[in-house]
Structure 1
């Protein structure tokens, strides 16, 4: 059962950031398994169970990322990630190309939300076409999201702004590529408590209508 992370979790992650080499990691591998890998897998299991019980029709699957970086993509970095994340999304070879619920812990903060980080250009064109053809549906979603204070829209906008159907939709309409609704926080008491799980589930529920809307975009005709 997930009981929260611990100060030792944070200590280990700082250790990886400043000692990112095999010898240090092997000497501290038991700390990794006890303080980071195990609670992350327990949190993932319980978050997935909570989502599946309430939204089983979405057909979700869960994953916890490996701490080991792909040796082909080190680019001068150490062999280990200094942050770890879990994802809950619909099945796909590349989850980052789908709308995805996530939680991530790093040495100095943690975050969670709904990400669509690698949405294809065709998918973004379909999103804009939906807003052009039926702005009211997206406006209803956005108005509900603006009433909450947990998540903020993040992403790279076009340098030259496109004309959106309404001012309300403009930030969404002008996302160049992937985007997310994200909550980022410094380490706090909640992170070290079993209450982290229900806190995340309660707030993910705010994003489920958006998830449903985005998850059907790929079935739309390409408007380009």
Structure 2
């Protein structure tokens, strides 16, 4: 199958069939049993997960955020509560911030604090960095399909790709994220990834190659299963 055909096939695929459909089944079952679905973290990745759940017709009841939560605070129409003010029972809580999903010691400290405030550890799931990154990549691709195609076509040309990477490398202010599915010269990704500027070689916040766009649906096979979400009770 040609690159163009593979990319078109990917862009025509619903995002909820690419990332963690078992999670959707779990949350729908929880809703049917009367439990509330809650997201810890109302930052960029929390909003990505909110959009994902809404696209999949799973209602999210509220955010919890120790940094910005409080009376009258909302994000995307949902209240943002402080941990000690939020409902603590009959919920399913997904912890989205990367800082709380990267280091086992940080996770345990966070979990201990939540339990001390009255939360049940078995109701808390940590969302692995890899899955949130896959969701972010998928959302950027699937919601910017036409721009994505333009960028991919441009980067198929070796001279354009080389010129673009030289520009990106010369402007790096932070070390690129190093991971098996990332090109060595990648920067961090933002939702505006495919927004072209007046220079045809500049794409906001990162660089994709065709192969990398296709990889996001395939990396870490267990993103399709709930086992990819680490139960807090097992930290």
> Structure 1 length as normaliser, TM-score?
0.26
Higher strand share: 1
